[in-house]
Amino acid sequence: MINLQETLVDIAKAIVDSPEEVKVVETQDDNTITLTLTVAPDDMGMVIGRHGKIAKAIRTVIKAASANCGKKVNVEIR
């Protein structure tokens, strides 16, 4: 099974200027996994992208990676 937390960290570190400040916290409910991505304030625009396109792409990739786990995955960016 793929580790979604590590996957999200790898994606975010490839995008930002300060990869050492990338953190992901995972919380689980009954049928939901929530991944909270935290980056440096200066890197927030890089992670969100124009009109949220990069954030949407990140969520799409994580959703595709989680297809085998049987749970809904939410990605929050802070």
Q: Give the model's confidence band at 70: pLDDT under 50 very low, under 70 low, under 90 confident, else very high.
A: confident
Classify residue 4 by burial, with Cβ atoms within 10 Å: 0-12, 13-18, 19+: buried
Q: Which two tokens stand for residue 13?
A: 């570190």
Tokens of 14: 């490839």
Type of residue found at 52: G
For 28, phi then psi, to 5°, come to: -125, 140
**10-67 confidence digits (pLDDT tens):** 999 999 999 999 999 999 998 999 999 999 999 999 999 999 999 999 999 999 999 8
